[in-house]
Structure 1
């Protein structure tokens, strides 16, 4: 289905199963299909699984502006409210983890629990060379198109390399990335700041249960961010998935699913004892 979430913004949404809602938020340049291998087990376990392509991704709209953390968090709020899926277990991969954190601070009533998989943490001080790569990627996309930029730069980047080099996930990853509409890179409007606070300074305000997951072979910056949020969040627990890089849902879907189901059960037990 398609849902209108803001003026000029329509999101592709897929809902499967019945029960407690779980929403899966993909990462940068990806789409909802990155979670394909997780959904059957979650549905079988009695969850209602919600996935959508974020603005500027997949089959959703690519507006000329509106790509701030707050815009993505607001989209999540509208999706969950329109689907009567509140509160939800919110699972975010990479940038999706940042959106989950933003939503937990702005709209805490939406969130039953958080699972942050290799989270990109808003306002975390990453080194200049990290962001310099994405400036080069943006330039390549604008000058030569997404497929060329993906082949020359993005698929071989350490964040994607292990999934790209894995025969089991390579074809799916290529399909997703080659069809990335690059909305944010091609935006024609500059977004003004929409908050005067830093998320990194407010993590202690998130009180729901949190599971932080990182791939064993993820890059150092993402290991550091996973440890940072796990240490700062009051109810957080950190798990490391062996034999996986950054894209755990593609590289180790069964191990990730097992961690999710165990965590959701612990949240259920905690709630029933209150």
Structure 2
């Protein structure tokens, strides 16, 4: 096995328990808030109220052995629990950063609200978490959907964000220009019919995964071992709401207005575009040119650049950890 493959294998061992294949139904299912799915560091819960509903926001707060006085806020994507940041947490704490890693409300170990999700609400929740922890300013490192949230936070609370690293972000185009609106009930029915193997193929196709098939299994498991949970329907409704949030609340028009130093780190093979299967066939090929979109947007910004890593897909920080870490630390060191 190559050193690259060994590194990826070690990284995924850090974020997931030893587990049977996703198709194994003999185990007790995870809870709707991923009860039973271990995270790499202790998880705390922050009480919140969103639209009159009492909720709790899960987060990890990881201290470095030798603090440099700075904090990094890691923002996760839509299809992954925040535990997948484990190798990046290790890199950052090793460089002296305190690292705060929330699960946004609606995801991971956080509450699944009954109402709709909105980026503005998630942004307020995240600032409330920083306030709770006594953190005035943070470096924000975000992946995928987390990149869209990071843009909202940086625009709404510019004095709280010092640097912005957008890791294979989605939202670099306005998906409404390609995809017609889809009823939540239709999406919910499609998601409910999806099998573990179908989801595996979906991830491999949409995210250009470079990970060996058996190492994708923890991501499959985190989703499908909660399907027999008593509250699965609540999780499903929240998951579908997150798609509608991405579709209805574009941020691409705000990206050129960012004032913080910004680094895009893109996988050259990442062509992820939420909603592409619902677009007219003639438009699908135009969607998801993410590396080129990042370069174009960076050229329009006050202080930004885009770095593209070859032979990497949507999970660029797991596909090319050494190159990713080097770019990340060099940028934050400025």
Interval containing the TM-score (normalised by the shorter chain): 0.7 to 0.9
1:1-274 equivalences under 5 Å are 1-6=44-49, 7-17=53-63, 18=67, 19-121=69-171, 124-125=174-175, 128=178, 138-141=188-191, 143-144=192-193, 148-153=194-199, 155-157=201-203, 158-163=205-210, 165-167=211-213, 169-178=215-224, 181-185=235-239, 199-219=251-271, 220-266=288-334
Unmatched runs of 5 consecutive residues or more in structure 2: 1-43, 227-234, 272-287
1:129-185 per-position Cα deviation (integer Å, ceiling 9, x unaligned): 5987x98653223x44xxx4553246424333414x525741332233435744524
Q: Mark the structure with the bigger radius of gyration.
A: 2
Aligned length: 255
RMSD: 3.0
1:80-116 per-position Cα deviation (integer Å, ceiling 9, x unaligned): 1111222111111010000000111111111011000
* Contact 2:262/2:305, CA 8 A, preserved across alignment: yes
Give, in whole Å, the separation in 2 of the partners of 1:52 and 1:109.
20
Q: TM-score, normalised by structure 1?
A: 0.81
Q: TM-score, normalised by structure 2?
A: 0.67
Unmatched runs of 5 consecutive residues or more in structure 1: 267-274
Give, in whole Å, the separation in 2 of the partners of 1:104 and 1:60.
22
Give, in whole Å, the separation in 1 of the partners of 2:95 and 2:117.
34
Give, in whole Å, the separation in 1 of the partners of 2:189 and 2:119.
22
Provide closer, same or farther for how the CA distance between residues 168 and 154 of structure 1 changes in structure 2, counting only shifts above 3 A.
Answer: closer
Between 119-128 and 104-113, the greater mean CA deviation after superposition? 119-128
Q: 1:211 aligns to what SS in structure 2?
A: strand
